Amino acid sequence: METIGKKIAFYRKARGITQEELSEKLGVSPQAVSKWENDIACPDIQLLAPLAKILEVTTDELLSAEPVQQVRLLAQEEKPDLKKQVLKVIIDSTKGDKVRVNLPMELVRTALEIGSKIPQVTNNENLKNIDFQQIIALVESGVIGKLVEIESADGDTVSVVVE
């Protein structure tokens, strides 16, 4: 289980933000950010939404017990069978809609090969520009983790994760 501190540190570094820059944006001391990242203290609840926005994640991602989905390239001997992998599409709209689609990668690949449509994916406006053929190619080459993260101008977020 990853702590909120580890997640703050991971996302901050991934965005190229220093502890000092983060502290300035949130109106706290750099020592406060350091304490959060070292799990000595937690951010005030009122800071969670601005913190998530700065780190370009959702508050759910910060508070979730699930580990950060890092993108990794697996060695040939580590690659799991495509039949054992799952494609997760996560959509959070500013209107409060939440869509969670979990599909076996083998089903996605087969559907793409035969030209079949997956309604949960093809009927969603937020997903129309995602190239699922390219995602399949990445997965077959051994790439896993959060492959796509998009935030629309309206504030809707879409993530595509392969596990």
Q: What's the pLDDT tens digit per position in 56-105?
A: 888 888 888 766 566 777 777 777 777 788 888 888 888 888 878 888 88
Pair type for strands 98-104 and 72-73: unpaired
* CATH tag, 4-63: 1.10.260.40
Task: Report the pLDDT value the prediction gives residue 126, as an integer from 0 to 100.
Answer: 60
Q: What does the domain layout of the chain look like in residue ranges?
A: 4-63, 72-162
Task: Report the pLDDT value the prediction gives residue 125, as an integer from 0 to 100.
Answer: 66
Do residues 77 and 57 make contact, with C-beta atoms less than 8 angstroms apart?
no
Task: Report the pLDDT value the prediction gives residue 26, as an integer from 0 to 100.
Answer: 97
Residue 107 φ/ψ, nearest 5 degrees: -65, -45
Q: What's the pLDDT tens digit per position in 138-151?
A: 888 888 877 877 77
Residue whose token pair is 């350091």 = 34
Q: 88: which 2 tokens?
A: 């997760």
Confidence class for position 123, pLDDT limits 50, 70, 90: low
